[in-house]
Amino acid sequence: MIVLTQNSFYMKKIILATLVTAGISFFSNAQQVKPVLTAKIKTPTVGCEECKSRIETYLLRYDGVMTAQVNWRSKITTVKYLTDRINIEEIKTAIANAGYDADDVPANEDSYKRLPKTCKKPEDGGPNKPPNIHKAPPPPKPQQ
């Protein structure tokens, strides 16, 4: 038969309280899941592989941008990013600072002027035939 003294009873309470406190602190300090979002941004002035490469390289320099994929044929840039480090407006501004329009954010004029002629709009001396044409592709013709 085990006889508990008052000291051993308090000792068990202290050990239990210590374990509970340690467990709570361990789980509260566990790595938080970082919120990740994927955004699709209209980039109507992107017209070739060189434009694609320039934007992807430029965006990947930013802290919080995980991936950047530019589809110059559909004029859409897809960006996966960490919301606690960067936001969508900063990403659009980054694209504009690279010299391209991004949704409602126009291209930075100085950056646009520094783009090679092949990456400019036709009205600014850029090409006006594929693959560098800087207009949205026409909708497909209905089949009869």
Q: Calculate Rg over the CA atoms of the chain.
A: 28
pTM above 0.85, yes or no: no
**Digit-coded pLDDT (tens) for 99-126:** 999 999 999 999 999 999 888 888 877 7
**Digit-coded pLDDT (tens) for 15-43:** 776 766 666 666 655 556 679 999 999 99
Which ranges of 43-108 would DSSP assign to H, the alpha helix? 49-60, 88-97
Inter-axis angle of helices 88-97 and 49-60, nearest 10: 130
List the domains of the chain with CATH numbers: 36-124 (3.30.70.100)
